[in-house]
Structure 1
Amino acid sequence: MTGETAPRPRKRKSLFVAFLLWFFLGIVAAHKIYLGRGREGVKLLLAYFFIPLGAAAAAIIVLHAFGVRLVAGPLRPEDLQALARSRPFALLAALVTAVLTVIWIWDFRVLVRQVREHNEAAAREERAGKREEPPRVPAG
């Protein structure tokens, strides 16, 4: 015995449950994990984290390079409130929010297709499994 186990057959997934996970826990990619797509979930989670972080860092660097200061003088920790109230930062936040919203809506469109594909694969496995099982003869 090599210690390998037979792969578990897929179970059908509910579009409603996937939708609820997408709507309430989409930011942590719970719907991807529900569908058994953990790698895609990690990618989505990283995108939700790094897109805002990268956009903020890039915008601050570019604005600083062009002489636009988000706050007067060098940036200090107490300047965060002033930074949050500045017009360039508000525009950046709106842009990042728009990009993340587009990703979120696109992810829903993909979710419907992924649930359908998962359920079709589960049905194929179920049909194939029934064909491979020998007929059961009652003992007695």
Structure 2
Amino acid sequence: MITVANATIFAIEKHEGQLDNFGVPYIDSLMRVREALYEHGDMAQVAGVLSGILRITDTSVADLEKLGVPTVVIDAIVSVTPKPSEEYFTYIRRAFAHSMGRLVMLAIVNDRLAAIERMNNDGTLTKEERDGEVEFLRGRYIRAREFLEAVKISA
């Protein structure tokens, strides 16, 4: 079975050089998501650090199986991986339906909201950015968090 350390090393290697929507290394967000899931155990942390692996790398489910990622963790990763052309809240509802996926998605959404707040506070964003796409994303993440928190959850 894969360890948190091995999953982290794999994620670092696979996401090398990738930037998120805000222009910062994508792996930074995955590390924060992993840490946010600490209280939910090792497998939740593995799901968190690998949460972007199917979406933005060439990694497949078969690759995860070969690494020793348990089926429940793979299912959680799949649940937080948007399908092509999938509407955002359809994707959120799919993650919500998987207990570990819901935890991971909540950690992702909270991390995105914190990133927006950091950029608002440090002057990174222009007024136009705050009033435009970033405000749209902030509203989307707030609605997603409210939905994901609708039921008390645990791994």
Using the size of structure 1 for normalisation, the TM-score is: 0.33
Q: Which structure exhibits the higher relative contact order, with contacts defined as CA atoms closer than 8 Å and separated by 6 or more residues?
A: 1
Larger Rg: 1
